[in-house]
Chain A
């Protein structure tokens, strides 16, 4: 069974704080993703990575950065948290042999509240 774990289920931070969200997958997947999930807006892609040290911007990268130093770990960084970044953050990974793209496996999510 693929397992995607996220460092925290719930997090409360203050405006202006630097926030780190960690994600680890145990299936040697090449691709990893960060989304935010907001009611009525579905999932919106923040960043994704198709290899170690590689990253691509998604649809809403502003205010976020990412780091992928090891294949199994993908970190999302909020450099200076703001209240409009209060959301549920989902990490996902997928297998990607060659040019094929397979389904994504999701973690349980981190509900971040910025006050």
Chain B
């Protein structure tokens, strides 16, 4: 069975601080990895994805994530957060059977 673990439930940062949200997964086969974001009052939307190739992927709004296969990790990073990044962030893994598993989510609060 596949599973996803997000290490931080709630992160509070000041504007311009750097961000790293941890995500670890467990699955024995080939995976597709995703980070989704849910801004207050909005739909869940894709932030970035990894399918294959370069393990460092870039997404929207200056976010990036690095896939480290040996560590089963896919951490999300942003060098300088803005107040508008306040949202809930979800890591997700999709295995060969097509089923997606999401982490519990991390709420990010950025103080102006």
Contact = CB atoms under 8 A, between A and B. Distances in A.
B12 to A, nearest CB: 17
Interface in B90-110: 90, 92, 94, 96-105
Interface residues of B, number: 24
A48 B98 contact: yes
Contacts, number: 55
Interface residues of A, number: 27
B90 A42 contact: yes
A101 B29 CA distance: 14
A34 to B, nearest CB: 12
B44 A90 contact: yes
B45 interface: yes
Nearest to B102: A43
A50 B46 contact: no
Between A35, A105, A106, the greatest number of chain B beta carbons within 10 A of the residue's beta carbon is seen for A106
A104 B98 contact: no
Contacts of B94: 101
Contact of B99 (A41, A45, A106): A45
28 contacts: A31-B98, A33-B100, A35-B102, A42-B102, A42-B105, A43-B44, A43-B90, A43-B105, A45-B99, A45-B101, A48-B98, A48-B99, A48-B100, A50-B98, A56-B99, A90-B44, A96-B98, A101-B32, A103-B46, A103-B49, A104-B34, A104-B46, A104-B100, A105-B46, A106-B43, A106-B44, A106-B45, A108-B43
Interface of B: 6, 9, 32, 34, 36, 43-46, 49, 51, 90, 92, 94, 96-105
